[in-house]
Amino acid sequence: MLGLPEGVTALLFDLDGVLTQTAKVHQAAWKEMFDGFLEEREGEGFEPFSPRDYERYVDGMPRYDGVRKFLQSRGIEHDETLVRELGDRKNDAVQRKIRRDGVEVYEGSRRYLEAARDAGLRRAVVSSSANTEEVLEVTGLAPLVEVRVDGVVAQERGLPGKPQPDTFVEGARLLGAEPAQAAVFEDALAGVQAGRAGNFGAVIGVDRVGQADALREHGADRVVADLDELLDER
């Protein structure tokens, strides 16, 4: 059903880059924050935050974990005060951009959610973003989603973020499904790793940026450019 293996009854969607085009908002916010920090620290000759840095160190990661990984990659000494300050700066930048520019939905993903609802499949969003609830409301996707496990919920429940599978496992549990009965939809390498580590029934990689091979290498059972491709298999 809907391009998924038999026995899958629950669908676990990442938000940024899978359902909405907020991945580019997050990438721009990370760059704005880190470039500002690096220029403050090193002056005009600093090495800017790059798309490769985004993919390697922060994409799909909980915000503070992403800060730590990037600072470590540059050999920058840091404590938790600095990590939280930079993470909060990044979140402020995301919220400004969402309020100013809004959020676009991948229409193929909206159609897939509608088809999943009509087919009686359970649906959750599992995202490391603390802004998930706001984005779902702004985009009108909230009525199509039954369960939300985001950065806020993960912190409240002490769940480690991706690439650990715990948030996906919690999403499946809230939908009344075992991991083997759930499919994970992810565009980030860390998220695909989490899906594979949790032994889910299917891990669907969504390639928005030309990294299909990397998604497969990190554990995707299948890679699509858009969820519309799966609708053709009803």
Q: Which domain holds residue 59?
A: 24-101
72 in any annotated domain:
yes
pLDDT for position 123:
98
pLDDT for position 233:
67
Q: Are residues 49 and 133 in the same domain?
A: no
Give the number of other CB atoms < 10 A from CB of residue 173. Answer: 16
pLDDT for position 25:
86
Cis before 163? omega within 30: yes
Residue stretches of the chain with pLDDT short of 70: 233-234
Contact 61, 194 (CB under 8 A): no
Q: Which of 16, 65, 166, 207 is catalytic?
A: 16
Residues 128-171: tens digit of each pLDDT: 888 899 899 989 999 999 999 998 999 999 999 999 999 999 99
Task: Among 101, 130, 163, identify where a domain stops.
Answer: 101
Say which CATH number the domain at 35 has. Answer: 1.10.150.240
pLDDT for position 5:
94
Q: Which of 14, 150, 187, 207 is catalytic?
A: 14
Residue 207 among the catalytic residues: no
Residue 16 among the catalytic residues: yes
Would you state the torsion angle of the CA atoms of residues 199, 72, 207, 164, taken in this order, to the nearest 10 degrees?
Answer: 20
The residue whose two tokens read 């700066």 is 89
2 in any annotated domain:
no
Predicted TM-score (pTM) above 0.85: no
**In total, how many domains does the chain have?**
2
pLDDT for position 131:
86
